[in-house]
Amino acid sequence: MSHRSGWAPEVSTIDLDAPLGDPEAALCELERVYLRDAVYFHHPRYLAHLNCPVVIPALLGEVILTAINSSMDTWDQSAGATLIERHLIEWTAHRIGLGDSADGVFTSGGTQSNLQALLLAREEACRLAEKQSLIQLRRFEILPRLRILTSACSHFSVVKAAMLLGLEEHAVIRVPCDRRKRMRTTALASELERCRREGLLPMAVVATAGTTDFGSIDPLPEIAHLCQRYGVWLHVDAAYGCGLLVSTRRRHLLDGLDAADSVTVNYHKSFFQPVSSSAVIVRDRDTLRAICYHADYLNPTWAAKEGIPNQVDKSLQTTRRFNALKLWLTLRVMGPDAIGELFDRVVDLAEQAWRVLDQDTRFDVVTPPQLSTLVFRYAPQGVSPDQLDRANLHARRALLAAGAATVAGTVVDGRQYLKFTILNPATSLRDITDVLDLLAAHAAVGLGGNP
Amino acid sequence: MSHRSGWAPEVSTIDLDAPLGDPEAALCELERVYLRDAVYFHHPRYLAHLNCPVVIPALLGEVILTAINSSMDTWDQSAGATLIERHLIEWTAHRIGLGDSADGVFTSGGTQSNLQALLLAREEACRLAEKQSLIQLRRFEILPRLRILTSACSHFSVVKAAMLLGLEEHAVIRVPCDRRKRMRTTALASELERCRREGLLPMAVVATAGTTDFGSIDPLPEIAHLCQRYGVWLHVDAAYGCGLLVSTRRRHLLDGLDAADSVTVNYHKSFFQPVSSSAVIVRDRDTLRAICYHADYLNPTWAAKEGIPNQVDKSLQTTRRFNALKLWLTLRVMGPDAIGELFDRVVDLAEQAWRVLDQDTRFDVVTPPQLSTLVFRYAPQGVSPDQLDRANLHARRALLAAGAATVAGTVVDGRQYLKFTILNPATSLRDITDVLDLLAAHAAVGLGGNP
């Protein structure tokens, strides 16, 4: 866990043209430049970002998949691997509540899943606009009118995707949140109405099931209802919240997810899988046609006609590793309930930690958790907000430098806050309270007081 | 290697909600549904696609990186890993011949590298157009005028990226190739001139150093000269040819690469790394700003100002695995020359195989190899082209079904051809001649003759 300050990185002085010659020497060097000071997500006091410790069957899968090195682009490079990936996509779609026309593909991460979903939404919106127009529209007459509506707490990859897709600078409309950090559906309704009035084309509503900062879940049924009324693509970013798909006690938090046109799931966040393990799932496999390009040397048209299952037809990647094997072995060895139980445990702990924080006069906590994050701030009475900002920034850094724990930070209403992301089932409430004490001590130093 | 026809996939009937409970049972099942019939790239007669067998130090790296599960987005999730990735990028940029202002990032594959490079090129072109205009231009006034020029043999990810980036349908201009399948620079010059005449904005020339089908390398110095004259971004897709960066005998084939504004390298094609191991390298790190978005919870603006090395600032991904470790351990254990020698060996073999094919009256071969692919066709005299198409398609499938070897196929001038991609240093000339005999026998059956 240690991440010492003053750490002198010798990496940049290593001559990569002068090999060490044997694995042992290379590993000794690696110990110095990486392993000794690595940030270990399986440390019970790693409480920073949306990364999880990993389950052993997934590691077994990783060893196998990398040695065989199957590439998932075409059938003749992957065979059984293609069928395994497809079966996992079907299984996930079924858990979401989608029907037989659902499909999807594994991706490199949530950011790519969101990009792919928004690309499909863009193409559907263009197709619709062309169909409804009396004159032939060209792409550049449609693109500037497209809008994406998402909550103020959604992931920054939505804005990044909009830029990538060639939309205008202000194409992403940020809908305000309620005090639990969920999208306000009345505000969404007003924005949709405003778009209609102004001749803008909402190409997608992006709801979040598990925001990065607050783990908040947007009101999916109400949002789905609005999307249906206005004929807008509903994408749900469940990168974080997808763990609820296997929860035996909290599956209901995802009610309404079955109305989505596309869903981002990150098994490497809440299924305890190593990076990468992600997917994008779509309600209607026909919408994937937008990214299907044929190459004579890879996936010729005749192969598609014959039904040869070339996964590249539905992926933004070409060569692609068999990440699905990790989830496959996890489910075959442990099963979904065991994974769901691990996820439920960290959500339970977050609830307990919230009660602790709520009682602790040293800290302000923003909102009760829906999943397993807590955003809080060292805030003793009688100190100015600016001083508190400095103290909280200092506390986070000092903790990181001391190497005893890692927490994250964020900004709420322009103010510096601290954040726990609890994704380790081995973390105890004692770990949480100890880290709070450490943070308070560091923050007090930051205020100029005694630790 | 076997890939038997009539193989009944039981995968889809497996109930993923009913775990087997222990790893041994899961592995036994996996043997049946994947391992037994997997396509093994390390089999000496796997001669199909641009996938390579992998070196052992890379596998060691994979085992370590997946267990630690570092995420490369921010410093506080990766520490030493960030420095290792940065040092490998510097090393690669240096091998390319770029200066100190070069930078880059590891990507999920060549398709993502090409996308990122073209995104940067698009943003530079927009910036330039805005600067040169007397009136304030909006994005949608520029986008439809952007063009990408690339050879008729370049990878299909260029067209896919153009679509993703919101360019017009005909934004990609395919420049014809010479008989060695290299971009004709006279044709490129004419197209650039035509763009100027018609008020179009060429945003990038994409040259290829190692086309997928022919391994052909576009004339980089001449293309670079034209790009300079017309002020156009030069991207070189060296996904395949990047192995020449470590060749001791053929580095000169990449002459001119140092004039590129961006370069795609796929260590998982010609550095014998497992998927994913890829990067995009840029001449000027400032151009990466186009994809830098700040999020309070991840990479706040103050962190950038303080010089905290958050790699997410230059990546299209957010959470990202530490793929760089594989290349790192490969270089630290084996060194670049050893990798270069392995790549030289497959290029040597392709040269020998070409001489065999050129003498063999049963086959037509399209062009001598520059790297390690050969495109050829079973073509005995006196048979109609349509019959030959069917015979060659049949031969490829029959070979795959029999499981003795795997070759690829492609289309040249509307006709069905076969393709060897030789990336296994353990493949011998005897493997090649045996597979040719098998193909000829299957093709003869396809013609209705005796094997």
Strand partners, B377: B364
Percent of chain A whose pLDDT exceeds 70:
97
Question: Rounded CA gap, A433 and A128, in Å?
Answer: 54
Show the tokens assigned to B62. Answer: 């994979």
Burial class (CB in 10 A: 0-12, 13-18, 19+), B271: buried
- How far away is chain B from the Cα of A362, in angstroms, using its nearest Cα? 22
Q: Which residues contact A167 (CB under 8 A, 6 or more apart)?
A: A122, A143, A144, A146, A148, B166
Q: Tens of pLDDT along B128-137?
A: 998 888 777 8
A23-29: long-range pairs with CB below 8 Å, 24+: A23/B57, A23/B60, A23/B329, A23/B333, A25/B332, A26/B57, A26/B329, A26/B332, A26/B333, A27/B60, A29/B332
Segment B39-52 mean pLDDT = 92
What's residue B82's pLDDT?
Answer: 96
- First CA to last CA distance, chain B: 22
Residue of A nearest to B79 (CA): A38
Laid out side by side, the sheet with B415-421 consists of: B46-47, B406-412, B415-421, B373-378, B363-365
Say if the Cβ atoms of A333 and B26 lie within 8 Å.
yes
Nearest to A339 by CA among A432, A418, A261, A277: A277
Inter-residue contact B202 to B162 (CB < 8 Å): no
Choosing among B213, B297, B326, B424, which should be mutated to test the A contact, i.e. which has the most A CBs within 10 A?
B297
Show the tokens assigned to A38. Answer: 């690595």
Q: Whats the size of chain B, residue-wise?
A: 451
Residues of B in contact with A109 (CB under 8 A): 317-320
B277 — pLDDT class (breaks 50, 70, 90)? very high
A403 — pLDDT class (breaks 50, 70, 90)? confident
The vertex-A365 CA angle with A362 and A367, nearest 5°, equals: 165
Residues of A in contact with B421 (CB under 8 A): none
Say if the Cβ atoms of B332 and A26 lie within 8 Å.
yes
Residue type, B396: R
Say if the Cβ atoms of A319 and B20 lie within 8 Å.
no
Question: Rounded CA gap, B394 and B398, in Å?
Answer: 6
Strand partners, A183: A177
Res A5 pLDDT > 50: no
Of A64-78, A110-124, A235-249, B109-123, the range with the lowest mean pLDDT is A64-78
For B140, the closest of A143, A291, A318 (CB atoms) is: A143
Which letter does DSSP use for residue B34 in this model?
A: I
Question: Rounded CA gap, A227 and A430, in Å?
Answer: 44
What's residue A8's pLDDT?
Answer: 46
Which letter does DSSP use for residue B145 in this model?
A: G
Residue of B nearest to A332 (CA): B19
Nearest to B156 by CA among A291, A4, A59, A277: A291
For A408, the closest of B64, B159, B297 (CB atoms) is: B297
Res A135 pLDDT > 50: yes
Inter-residue contact B415 to B383 (CB < 8 Å): no
For A39, the closest of B76, B276, B298 (CB atoms) is: B76
Strand partners, A365: A376
Say if the Cβ atoms of B291 and A160 lie within 8 Å.
yes
Residues of A in contact with B165 (CB under 8 A): 164-166
Of A132-136, B22-26, B291-295, the range with the lowest mean pLDDT is A132-136
Say if the Cβ atoms of A319 and B91 lie within 8 Å.
no
What's residue B37's pLDDT?
Answer: 87
A79 — pLDDT class (breaks 50, 70, 90)? confident
Q: Which residue has 């670079």 as its token pair?
A: B224
- How far away is chain A from the Cα of B15, in angstroms, using its nearest Cα? 9
Question: Rounded CA gap, A76 and A436, in Å?
Answer: 54
Say if the Cβ atoms of B23 and A57 lie within 8 Å.
yes
Inter-residue contact A175 to A226 (CB < 8 Å): no
Q: Tens of pLDDT along A12-40?
A: 999 999 999 999 999 999 999 999 989 88
Q: What 3-state class would DSSP assign to A159? A: helix
- In Å, how far from its chain's centre is CA A329? 22
Choosing among A318, A407, A416, which should be mutated to test the B contact, i.e. which has the most B CBs within 10 A?
A318
Say if the Cβ atoms of B16 and A88 lie within 8 Å.
yes
Choosing among B20, B50, B148, B319, which should be mutated to test the A contact, i.e. which has the most A CBs within 10 A?
B319
Say if the Cβ atoms of A38 and B11 lie within 8 Å.
no
Record the pTM. Answer: 0.96
Res B30 pLDDT > 60: yes
Say if the Cβ atoms of A84 and B167 lie within 8 Å.
no
Res B374 pLDDT > 70: yes
Angle between helices A23-30 and B56-68 (to 10 degrees): 30
Show the tokens assigned to A227. Answer: 């999307």
Q: Tens of pLDDT along A217-231?
A: 999 999 999 999 999
Residues of B in contact with A30 (CB under 8 A): 64, 328-329, 332
**Torsion, Cα of A111, A61, B324, A268 (10° steps):** 30
Res A202 pLDDT > 70: yes
Res B442 pLDDT > 70: yes
If you write DSSP's letter for every residue of B272-295 in order, what string do you get?
-PPSP-EEEEES-GGGGGGG----
Question: Rounded CA gap, A235 and A282, in Å?
Answer: 9
Residue of A nearest to B170 (CA): A139
Strand partners, B234: B205
Say if the Cβ atoms of A144 and B140 lie within 8 Å.
yes
Residues of B in contact with A111 (CB under 8 A): 316-319
What's residue A39's pLDDT?
Answer: 87
**What's chain B's Rg over C-alpha atoms?**
24
Say if the Cβ atoms of A49 and B34 lie within 8 Å.
no
Q: Tens of pLDDT along B75-97?
A: 988 889 999 999 999 999 999 99
Laid out side by side, the sheet with A415-421 consists of: A46-47, A406-412, A415-421, A373-378, A363-365
Residue of B nearest to A63 (CA): B63
Q: Which residue has 């005090």 as its token pair?
A: A179
Q: Whats the size of chain A, residue-wise?
A: 451
Show the tokens assigned to A257. Answer: 């997810």
Inter-residue contact B446 to B394 (CB < 8 Å): yes
Q: Tens of pLDDT along A354-369?
A: 999 999 999 999 999 9
Q: Tens of pLDDT along B327-345?
A: 999 999 999 999 999 999 9
Mean pLDDT, chain A, whole residue set: 94
Inter-residue contact A422 to A344 (CB < 8 Å): no
Q: Which domains does chain B have, with CATH numbers?
A: 62-333 (3.40.640.10), 337-446 (3.90.1150.170)
Say if the Cβ atoms of B160 and A35 lie within 8 Å.
no
What's residue A319's pLDDT?
Answer: 95
Question: Rounded CA gap, B89 and B256, in Å?
Answer: 19
- How far away is chain A from the Cα of B435, in angstroms, using its nearest Cα? 17
Residues of B in contact with A48 (CB under 8 A): 76-77
The number of C-beta contacts closer than 8 angstroms across A and B is: 365
Say if the Cβ atoms of B317 and A274 lie within 8 Å.
no
Of residues A415 and B297, which shows the higher confidence score? A415
Residues of B in contact with A325 (CB under 8 A): 34
In chain B, % helix, strand, coil (3-state, to 5) comes to: 50, 15, 35
CA distances from residue A40 to A35, A103, A241, A424 in whole angstroms, order as listed: 9, 35, 22, 11
Res A140 pLDDT > 80: yes
Inter-residue contact B418 to B396 (CB < 8 Å): yes
Residue of A nearest to B275 (CA): A321
Q: Which residues contact B6 (CB under 8 A, 6 or more apart)?
A: none
Res B3 pLDDT > 80: no
Q: Which residue has 């991609």 as its token pair?
A: B421
Q: Tens of pLDDT along A144-194?
A: 999 999 999 999 999 999 999 999 989 999 999 999 999 999 999 999 999
Q: Tens of pLDDT along B388-436?
A: 999 999 999 999 889 889 999 999 999 999 999 999 999 999 999 999 9
A450 — pLDDT class (breaks 50, 70, 90)? low
Residues of B in contact with A52 (CB under 8 A): 69
- How far away is chain A from the Cα of B223, in angstroms, using its nearest Cα? 25
Residues of B in contact with A108 (CB under 8 A): 108, 112, 276, 317, 320
Choosing among A114, A275, A389, A424, which should be mutated to test the B contact, i.e. which has the most B CBs within 10 A?
A275
Say if the Cβ atoms of A64 and B35 lie within 8 Å.
yes
Which letter does DSSP use for residue B218 in this model?
A: -
What's residue B6's pLDDT?
Answer: 43
Segment B349-378 mean pLDDT = 97
Q: Which residue has 């038997």 as its token pair?
A: B4
Give the number of other Cβ atoms within 10 Å of residue B413's Cβ.
Answer: 7
